[in-house]
Each structure stands twice: as C-alpha cells, then as structure tokens.
Amino acid sequence: MSHAPALPLPPDSGMDPERRTWLLATSAMGVAATAAVAVPFVSSFAPSERAKAQGAAVTMDPSVVEPGELKTVEWRGQPVWVLRRTPEMLASLEGTTDLADPASEKEQQPDYATNTHRSIKPEVFVTVGICTHLGCSPVTLPQGTANPSVPADWKGGFFCPCHGSTFDFAGRVFRNKPAPTNLVVPPHKYLADGSLLIGEDDSGAA
C-alpha cells in the first residue's frame, strides 16, 4: 500500500523542543555554507586589478628619447611608439603628394592628428605601432635603405613586412597600399611636469 508523503509538522505538533532546535540550527548552517560558497564564485566575475590596469593611461618621459630614436610603451595591450623626429624627418613630411589620406579624414582622429606632422609637438610623434591592414607591426626604414620594397626616392618612414604597406614619418599611408587608413594616433597630452600621458587628452577621450 502506498503512503502519502509526510507533511511538515506544525509548530504545535508536539515535536520534542530539543529536536526542533537541532533542525533549525542545521538549516541555518546550510544556508550560511551556501552563501560562503556563492560569494567567491560571483566575485570571480569582477575585473581583476590587472585587467583594470590594462585600460589605464600610462606616462613616460619623452626627454629620454634621443633624436631619431623610437621607444615603445604598452597601453591597453598595444605597442605605442614615441618617436623623436629629427629636422630631416620633419622636412620629409612636406610636399608629399602620393598619400592616401594626408589629413586623416578617413577615420576619426584627435584634432592634433590632422595636421601635417600629426602630433601636438612636431618633433614628438605618438602612434600605435600596428598596421591598419591586418594588425602586423611595421618596421622603421630610413632614407637610403636598400630594401627593394620601397621606391628609390624613399624619404624614410615605416614599412609593414607582412603585405607591403608603407607610411611616412607621420604614420600617413601611401596610396595603393593594403592598409586602408593611417596609423592610429592614441589620445595623449603633456602634463605640467613635462611627462607624456598616453591614454587621455584634454577632450576627455580615452
């Protein structure tokens, strides 16, 4: 013969008070244990300090970069180049006519990246060192290089060895190259103490 499941005993069921106290205490301990396990599990979805730091702005001292030298700073997991251009490098930016986007109009860029030298200070160029084609890292090719992938009248700039895109020393891409746009200029500004802050600018961009 089947029996119906037993129903919870009402408070006045006559259950031994000591047994009732034991059952309540056991239930409370179970709830507490569940909460103790759940809290670390949920908190594991919160971003780590390392993840937060990867998006933070970074500072560097541009005075340590010698004329003609390029230093790399990591920001948001990307290589950011800081190049101190020589007078010859700056002169090479003038009068170039075979650029695909000389004024950086094809993509949104900071206002200070739409001039000829694409920088706040002409001698210091800040850009993300990643080709805008498929994400390879270009290399620096000076004027007079023997590299056959650039023209004989090459004035110096950046060359992507993956698919042959070329950029001048302002990161402007030349025409008829795989890269669709100029190298990206990240938000940046100079602080009162002369240090360079990469990742933020006065417009609030980040």
- Which tens digit of pLDDT belongs to each residue from 3-28? 555 444 454 545 565 655 555 555 55
Q: Which residues pair with 167 in a beta bridge?
A: 158, 173
- Which tens digit of pLDDT belongs to each residue from 145-184? 999 999 998 999 999 999 999 999 999 999 999 999 999 9
The answer as to whether 1 is a domain residue is: no
Q: Which residues pair with 70 in a beta bridge?
A: 83
Cα torsion angle, 175, 178, 181, 186, sign = negative
Same domain for 121 and 35, yes or no, is no
Q: How far is CA 40 from CA 11, 52, 66, 193, in A?
A: 36, 19, 49, 42
Report the alpha-carbon distance of residue 82 to residue 123 in Å, rounded: 10
Say if CB 104 and CB 182 are below 8 A apart.
yes
CATH of the domain at 163: 2.102.10.10
The DSSP element (H or E) to which 139 belongs, if any, is strand 139-141
Per-residue model confidence (pLDDT) at position 157: 96
Which residues, at least 6 apart from 189, have a Cβ–Cβ distance to it below 8 Å? 120, 196, 197, 200, 201, 202
The amino acid occupying position 89 is: M
Structural domain harbouring 37: 15-46
The answer as to whether 8 is a domain residue is: no
Report the alpha-carbon distance of residue 142 to residue 147 in Å, rounded: 10
The answer as to whether 2 is a domain residue is: no
Report the alpha-carbon distance of residue 185 to residue 170 in Å, rounded: 10
The answer as to whether 77 is a domain residue is: yes
Q: Which residues pair with 197 in a beta bridge?
A: 59, 189
Count of domains forming the chain: 2
If you average pLDDT over residues 87-93, what whole number do you get?
95
Helix (H, G, I), strand (E, B) or coil at 74: strand
For the cut 70, the answer to whether the pLDDT of residue 47 exceeds it is: no
Same domain for 136 and 198, yes or no, is yes
> Does the predicted TM-score (pTM) go above 0.75?
no
Q: Where are the alpha helices (DSSP H) in 8-127?
A: 17-43, 49-54, 87-91
The answer as to whether 4 is a domain residue is: no
